Structure 1
Amino acid sequence: MAENKVFKSNIHYYSPRLLKKLGDILSAPVTVIEAPSGYGKTTAVRDYLMDNLPKGTPVYWWSAAEDAPGISWTRLCRELEHIDPAAGKQLLSAGFPRLMSAWEIGEAISGLRCDTQSLLVLDDFHLLQKELPRTVMSALLSYSGTKLRLVIITQTARPFALSFFEQSGAHYIHIEDLRLSAEDVRRYCRLCGVALSEAEAGRLYDYTEGWIVALYLTVLQMQRGEGLSPGLSLLQLMESIVWENISSQGKNLFFHIALFPGVTIDQICFLLQADSLPENVFALLEETPFVRYEAEERRYVPHAILREMLLRRLKAADARTRISCYSRAGQWYARAGDTVQALSCFFKVQDYEAILSLPLKGLTLARIDAVPFTELAAGLLANCPIEIKRQYPISLLRIAYAFIGADKRERAGALLEEIKTIIGEVADKKERKALMGEWTLVSAYMEFPDIVKMEPILREAAGMIGGRCLTLTSDEPFAFGLPLMIFFHRTPGGLEKEIQALSGVVRLLSVLTGVKSGADVLFKAEAALYRGYLSEAGPLSYQAAYLAEGSGQWTVRTGTVNLMAQLAVKRGSNNDLSQYIKELEETVGTDAMCPFVTQMLQTDFYMWLGLTQMIPREVREGRTTFPEAPSWVKIYFGYYRLGILLQEEEYIRLLGAAEAAIVECRELGYLMVEIYMYIIAAMGYLNTGRRQEAFSYVREALARALPDGIYLPFIEFKCMLGGLVENAFSELGERMPEEIAASGQLIGDNWKLLIRLSSESGTLPYGLTEREMEVATLAAKGLSNREIASALFISEATVRFHLRSVFSKLGIDRRSKLAGILE
């Protein structure tokens, strides 16, 4: 090494190749900058715009937030509202992009208007892009406005194909453009005051691979006279350069802020238990590499690599330091109302009292650092001193409730016995009675889903509590997230009694929690549907929806939307069905169960409409996201797994699984699902030539359905069962109702719904547009151009135009070949 000078830490060097690429940001409608963390993407864009942007040009800078796609999307819409108020408002009203809303949102993005030359920068976009439908991503990448320039800064974490960004037509800056060459390394070092020979620059390039972060840290190390240490990893370099040069006070500061993606000054004061921060702390934050200050958010943000190094250091720190850092962080999260993050911190240091002091509600399916809450709670109960447990009987009851919801009945029973002993030791008689009321309330759920047994126990609990309870809160999802009240139907001939019992339960829970959920009205509506009284089911479903909206009960609201979608299927209304499936996506709950329930209900529709390609792969393969879910989830999952096997004509696998599923369903008391499972198994037997076995299953299903007049399953599947329904009625000595005798197929033109959904998920074949696929499908069915034009309300000329495009994309020369290709 020929020469060393004072290191200049503020040098930002960019290769001529990168500068040329950055120059096109101001002319290209869309620029995508994609590379892993540490390649200086954001800094490069900031520096280039600062030096080259025409004076007065507005720059709208938006950054995605970790673990909050909904919040990030709302902030993006607000940013777009500054550019185009009408489009921004439209995007806000559309909500977070889902499959059914993707086309509408894509259209709004494509139509963005901007009156003056402006730039919109979407930073850390990888945190959001994996949540966006392909349609929305395509709209962003194909934006063609003349005034607005769009810059997307993202890490290499695609949910899309490798060449997606390059093929989009956007101006693309990738990792090779950001990587420095050996000559660039030498120039950068010279600017920093470190002169290298060509061979030394080559060695440094080989070690850093042109990664600017690694290069920066290595040059810092060399400046300190330690030479090049090729054996050190990037994190070790970070430790060597940053960590080892920080005072003990500084290390304490960084330990505390490492547990947050960003920290405000007030937050730092809270973590350090200081009234105000001394100047040396501000200096440390501002002078430490890889910490930036975001003026708009008024917070300091450590780089991801720095955070990773700090968290590793914290994990290896002494017990006193770890307890201090995690406890203060947990207290901050608790104060901010983020119970899950608070639990994450407190569990790491086994602060049992802090855990039990939190409002442990809505945690049935919650995961803390990817571990089910119920699993962590079991460890807590095994190790927490009894003296602490005695102080928090309500928290213990909430854990017992979570155990029941996660189908951990044995654990729940043991905990309830322990809580009963603790309550028995309470000296104050009035307090003891109220706590026993809370205990009785949770104990009632040990009978779930037997609503008839639950109702008198809940009545007893309400009498003992004498008002609002403490264990269940108004925002606790009804019945552990169960959206289908018909699941409470357990006993043939007992439907009316079960409806009456659920009405009683809803009234009692209204007294105990202040919430009238509307679940009882939904049960009546579902009963009317399954009895074939469609005209009664509709008004009742709207009444239940009104009550659910007012109470904030997403479970019942989801159930009402599901019921309305079923009614749309019975009417053969694809437009209404599409809207209701979209509404299912937009049903919002605050716990982990909500999106899972929505996905399950959508799967049910896709399965019976033959749209199995719309069903998530893990569901088609029989894998569940929540193995610790309530019993009703497991039963429902088993039911539509059988349905998928039937649709895919996997009859042998279907029959093998059906026997065990029916037994489990009967043991748990889910009669309606059991009836459907019998019918699905019957169709499996029928399709394997075993008609007698098929008949016995249809007869058993009918025998269990008749006492309550449950006719819907037989209305739905009569045509598929080849006369078996008629034979079963005859053998049981019952007259088949007219509505069954006249029933037809489930729904007519499913192809239209399939095209719409496939288009919005980016799964249409051969690159066809939605309209091209509609035209091609009708042509493949044998319709003439005039008939297609009439069916789609377009001109014959438009039909011919679309067919020419279809023929070109499919590589065919006549419409007679369409059927074979699109089959």
Structure 2
Amino acid sequence: MPRYKAKTLYMRKSIVEALDNIWEYPLTVVEAPMGYGKTTAVKEYLSGSEAEELWQTLTDDSSTGFWNGLSRLIRKLDPVAADRLAGMGVPGNSVFLDEAIRIVGSIEFSKRTVIVFDDYHLLSSGDIDRFIELLVKSETPNLHIVIVSRSVFGENTTELVLKGYCCVIEKSSFELSRAEIIEYCRLNGVKLSAEEADFLVSYTEGWISAVYLCILGFQQDKRIERQASLYELIEKVVYRRCSIEVQEFLLSICIFDSFSSLQAEYMWTKGNAEALLGRLMAGNAFIKYDHGSQTYYIHNIFTSYLRRIFDRQGSDRQQAIWKAAGKWHVSIGEYIHAMDCFYKAADFDSLLTAIEIDKGNCITNEHKDRLIRYFSECPMEIRRDHPWACLIYAINLFSFNEMELFAQQCEQVGRYIEFLPEGEQAKAQLAGELELLGGFSKYNSITGMSEHHQRAGGLLKGPSEFIDRNGSWTFGSPSVLYMFYRETGQLEQEVNEIIVAMPHYYQLTAGHGSGAEYVMQAEWYYYTGDFENAEIASHKALYIAKSQDQMAIVLCALFLQMRLATLRGDLAQVTDILWQTREEIKERGLYQYIHTLDMCEGFIYSCLNQEKKIPAWIVKGDLQDSSICFPGYAFFNIIWGKALLISGQYLKLIGLAEGFIGMASVFPNLLGQVYTYIYEAAAEFKLGRHEDARQTLRQALSVAAPDQVIMPFAENGEYIADMLAQLEKNGHYPEFIGRINALFPLISKNRDAMSAELSSRDNRSMLTEREAAIAELVASGLSNQAIGNTLHIAEITVKKALQSIFAKLGISSRTALAKIMIEQKTG
């Protein structure tokens, strides 16, 4: 066998010089086809450095898998930051991207640190590409990223190179020259004639793996000869030289990109996997062991060859290996990988069992298409034997907004339950869970949902096993009344119904949504102008929600308190609530609520006509990538519509109004309809379409007046005052319009005062010298800890100063502060 000298082969002067660029750029992309030794070269180079090395080898196209892997790497440096990244999930929008960059920026990289993403070509994710680009542009001190890939990274690599953020090391750097091929062969005991050297250069084109295989062939046959393909060369000089036992062993593990010794023993079952691996590693360079991760790697070229052989095996052999792999993944809690393996093994019984063991906790939107495919192809008799898995599937269909499939699945689960023997507790439990799930089919009818809940209560012997009490009860909406105000003239009755209904639901879900009924009651008081009772009920709701740790309801109660503070002209309370709530969300890693808080902030600043302070994703109408679920979409449109109105985009607003009304009519959500009609009327009036405007405003009045919902009109009085006066003069809703007119002057006075205060705060002169210095460092991307180290002050001092800065400037996020500082610099 050749005396394989990896360091000599891979660490030639040209490669070392190319890899030295890792320390000169935030990003280095090492790009070459399979078999050019790029991974080995990077490993050898970094092993000789004193840098902290974090290595992640990608195995599939899962962006979630990538993100979880990155979080595990970060844990070695900063467990708190790792937990926050993992809790956030893949940053699929600008809000989460900014926060992810901030979290990584908060990590103290005390020495040169390299994060390597190997086999990056397997991942095709615009979200991850954008994250890496932003991370690179943030130029975090001591942090360097290396991407090892068979293809060019992302769409903007050229831009990154031109701007000095990135260095690309291409295939040419890894090609062996004629002299290097001759020298490498000499080092391995093969002296080439001039003719053989010419042939080898022409045949391999400097491809390292091909040269290595030719050397193996020479050692066997004492000559270098051309094979029809690289795979034929591998078969001749590597695979055929293995014993039948080793060949069978390789086929049992080749479906993995990497594996541990325990994993190999699990798949092989004959007790000598480690011995076989030792023989293989001694015999060729295609299998390596990483002592850091305690993991074996088969070179991609050899893996590719083995999988071609595997694909020619009989279906029984293939399915047995995939089934064993599925069982392995179950044993270590990797349920998504287990499901994929069981699917390839056509073992639907084990696939559904894995879902039941996991209770669906690992399933995300990323797995939607796979999950639907698995269940659609699963035989009915197997689904019937796994009603728990079918329930989990139904819950996920609802979260995917696949309502037709959801209804079909609930019906099927009902039929499966009928097959269970009478008198079994499992049957009653399943029937109860199905009744609870059936409540979602009646969303947003309080009575309809409650009927299901009460029937579920008669069947379940304890809290539901499937409802996640930590999930967002409001689907991302910051308002409970918005969710359940569905019938004109029935609002008070709906409030009374939810007060009666919610205790039944709490018993079934261990308090999920606690306080929601009192939020709705408080909002009813607010919308009808009874502000004292609104505040009393909001505090009651907030106390209950906090005691049960129900952040979705806490946000709803705080949102109402911000609106009440806005009525009083208390800007300090508004900004204080926004600041403290955002900090709590980040501290606790509750990132699913970031967009809900952004909607609260956007609503407040839209009411104050502060377009620049409305979160950018709302102004752009960028809803699809947010954490808001479909039932919350119409509330988003309430804020987006107002942003369009105050920015003067009247034609666009009128064009979108019909779609807004359609979305608000699905469940229905009457508040969404009322606000949209008001905005549309205001836009029409601005364009001189006065009669159309009055007719549109009458539609809003016809919905809201029977319930005395005056606040949407009072909040927008400056846009509709003339129309209201004309409608009142013509005898339309005089008493209702009279109440609006009585309230509007107070709202207008306090709103104008707050707007003026915000405008005056938008300058740096309000900040103390220390606050100005901290603001500058925040704008440059530093974390609180890094700012403290820079200014030689405690981190808690930085936090307190930021709270003061935010209050003075009327903002609640670091992103907003950075924007203000940049605007001031650019004039």
Q: Cα distance 1:646–1:119, how it changes in 2: closer, same or farther (>3 A)?
A: same
> Does the 8 Å contact 2:392/2:466 carry over to 1?
yes
Equivalent position of 1:154 in the other structure: 147
Distance 1:201 1:463 in 2: 84
Q: Cα distance 1:214–1:418, how it changes in 2: closer, same or farther (>3 A)?
A: same
Q: Cα distance 1:13–1:377, how it changes in 2: closer, same or farther (>3 A)?
A: closer
Q: Cα distance 1:19–1:264, how it changes in 2: closer, same or farther (>3 A)?
A: closer
Match status 1:271 vs 2:274: no
Amino acid across the alignment from 1:732: Y
**3-state secondary structure, aligned to 2:747:** coil
Q: How does 1:734-813 map to 2 (within 5 A)?
A: 734=736, 735-737=738-740, 738-744=742-748, 748=755
Equivalent position of 2:418 in the other structure: 424
Distance 2:225 2:636 in 1: 58
Per the TM alignment, residue 451 of structure 1 is displaced from its structure 2 partner at its CA by: 2.1
TM norm structure 1: 0.71
Q: How does 1:54-93 map to 2 (within 5 A)?
A: 59-64=51-56, 66=58, 67-68=64-65, 71-72=68-69, 74-75=71-72, 77-80=74-77
Q: Cα distance 1:350–1:129, how it changes in 2: closer, same or farther (>3 A)?
A: closer
Distance 2:242 2:724 in 1: 80
Q: Could you report, residue by residue, the CA deviation over 1:4-42 in whole angstroms, capped at 9, with x for unpaired residues?
A: x956364533332333455687xx576753212655455
Distance 1:696 1:770 in 2: 49
Amino acid across the alignment from 2:455: E
Q: Cα distance 1:236–1:633, how it changes in 2: closer, same or farther (>3 A)?
A: farther
Per the TM alignment, residue 678 of structure 1 is displaced from its structure 2 partner at its CA by: 2.0
**3-state secondary structure, aligned to 1:736:** helix
Distance 1:535 1:290 in 2: 75
Per the TM alignment, residue 673 of structure 1 is displaced from its structure 2 partner at its CA by: 1.8
**3-state secondary structure, aligned to 1:293:** strand
> Does the 8 Å contact 2:485/2:670 carry over to 1?
yes
Equivalent position of 1:124 in the other structure: 117
Amino acid across the alignment from 1:457: H
Q: Which runs of 5+ in 1 are unaligned?
A: 82-87, 144-148, 757-767, 773-790, 794-802, 811-817, 819-823
Distance 2:763 2:234 in 1: 52
Equivalent position of 1:459 in the other structure: 454
Equivalent position of 2:485 in the other structure: 489
Identify which of 5, 13, 18 aligns with 2:15.
Answer: 18
Distance 1:532 1:254 in 2: 75
Per the TM alignment, residue 458 of structure 1 is displaced from its structure 2 partner at its CA by: 0.9
Identify which of 346, 352, 355 aligns with 2:351.
Answer: 355
Q: Say which is worse superposed, 597-606 or 96-105, in terms of deviation.
A: 597-606
> Does the 8 Å contact 1:364/1:405 carry over to 2?
no
Q: Cα distance 1:278–1:654, how it changes in 2: closer, same or farther (>3 A)?
A: same
Q: Cα distance 1:576–1:320, how it changes in 2: closer, same or farther (>3 A)?
A: same
Amino acid across the alignment from 2:733: L
Amino acid across the alignment from 1:396: C
Amino acid across the alignment from 1:713: P
Equivalent position of 1:174 in the other structure: 169
Q: How does 1:56-455 map to 2 (within 5 A)?
A: 59-64=51-56, 66=58, 67-68=64-65, 71-72=68-69, 74-75=71-72, 77-80=74-77, 98-99=96-97, 101=99, 108=106, 113=110, 119-124=112-117, 130=129, 132=131, 136-140=135-139, 143=141, 151-155=144-148, 156-158=152-154, 162-164=158-160, 167-168=163-164, 172=167, 174-175=169-170, 178-180=173-175, 182-183=177-178, 184-193=180-189, 212=208, 216=212, 232=229, 249-250=245-246, 252-258=248-254, 260=256, 262-273=258-269, 277-284=273-280, 289-302=285-298, 317-357=313-353, 358-359=355-356, 361-362=359-360, 366-367=364-365, 371=369, 373-380=371-378, 383-385=379-381, 388-429=382-423, 431=425, 432-455=427-450
Equivalent position of 1:696 in the other structure: 695
Per the TM alignment, residue 292 of structure 1 is displaced from its structure 2 partner at its CA by: 3.7
Per the TM alignment, residue 489 of structure 1 is displaced from its structure 2 partner at its CA by: 1.8
> Does the 8 Å contact 2:37/2:174 carry over to 1?
no
Distance 2:313 2:247 in 1: 11
Q: How does 1:582-661 map to 2 (within 5 A)?
A: 610=611, 615=616, 624=624, 631-632=630-631, 635=634, 651-652=650-651, 654-661=653-660
Q: Cα distance 1:180–1:481, how it changes in 2: closer, same or farther (>3 A)?
A: same
Q: Could you report, residue by residue, the CA deviation over 1:490-517 in whole angstroms, capped at 9, with x for unpaired residues?
A: 1223334334444455422332232343
Distance 1:750 1:203 in 2: 77
Amino acid across the alignment from 2:739: M
Per the TM alignment, residue 447 of structure 1 is displaced from its structure 2 partner at its CA by: 0.8
> Does the 8 Å contact 1:374/1:406 carry over to 2?
no
Aligned-pair Cα RMSD in Å: 5.3
Distance 2:566 2:232 in 1: 61
Distance 2:531 2:253 in 1: 59
Equivalent position of 1:146 in the other structure: none
TM norm structure 2: 0.71
Q: Cα distance 1:197–1:472, how it changes in 2: closer, same or farther (>3 A)?
A: same
Q: Cα distance 1:319–1:606, how it changes in 2: closer, same or farther (>3 A)?
A: farther
Q: Cα distance 1:587–1:267, how it changes in 2: closer, same or farther (>3 A)?
A: same
Match status 1:732 vs 2:733: yes
Amino acid across the alignment from 1:377: F
Per the TM alignment, residue 455 of structure 1 is displaced from its structure 2 partner at its CA by: 0.7
Distance 1:44 1:647 in 2: 58
Equivalent position of 1:800 in the other structure: none
Q: Cα distance 1:61–1:157, how it changes in 2: closer, same or farther (>3 A)?
A: same
> Does the 8 Å contact 1:270/1:332 carry over to 2?
yes
Per the TM alignment, residue 675 of structure 1 is displaced from its structure 2 partner at its CA by: 1.9
> Does the 8 Å contact 2:11/2:45 carry over to 1?
no
> Does the 8 Å contact 1:105/1:136 carry over to 2?
no
Q: Cα distance 1:105–1:657, how it changes in 2: closer, same or farther (>3 A)?
A: closer
Q: Say which is worse superposed, 660-669 or 235-244, in terms of deviation.
A: 235-244
Q: Could you report, residue by residue, the CA deviation over 1:409-435 in whole angstroms, capped at 9, with x for unpaired residues?
A: 444444444433443343333545444
Distance 2:316 2:476 in 1: 41
> Does the 8 Å contact 2:527/2:709 carry over to 1?
yes
Per the TM alignment, residue 462 of structure 1 is displaced from its structure 2 partner at its CA by: 0.4
Q: Cα distance 1:589–1:353, how it changes in 2: closer, same or farther (>3 A)?
A: farther
Distance 2:651 2:687 in 1: 8
Per the TM alignment, residue 124 of structure 1 is displaced from its structure 2 partner at its CA by: 1.9
Q: Cα distance 1:163–1:501, how it changes in 2: closer, same or farther (>3 A)?
A: same
Equivalent position of 1:723 in the other structure: 722
Q: Could you report, residue by residue, the CA deviation over 1:503-554 in whole angstroms, capped at 9, with x for unpaired residues?
A: 4554223322323432434444554565567777678667767766775666
Amino acid across the alignment from 2:113: L
Per the TM alignment, residue 324 of structure 1 is displaced from its structure 2 partner at its CA by: 1.9
Distance 2:760 2:202 in 1: 56
Q: Cα distance 1:293–1:655, how it changes in 2: closer, same or farther (>3 A)?
A: same
Identity of paired residues, percent? 21
Per the TM alignment, residue 718 of structure 1 is displaced from its structure 2 partner at its CA by: 2.8
Per the TM alignment, residue 354 of structure 1 is displaced from its structure 2 partner at its CA by: 1.9
**3-state secondary structure, aligned to 1:124:** strand
Match status 1:713 vs 2:709: no
Match status 1:44 vs 2:41: yes
Distance 1:754 1:378 in 2: 57
**3-state secondary structure, aligned to 1:700:** helix
Q: Say which is worse superposed, 268-277 or 195-204, in terms of deviation.
A: 195-204
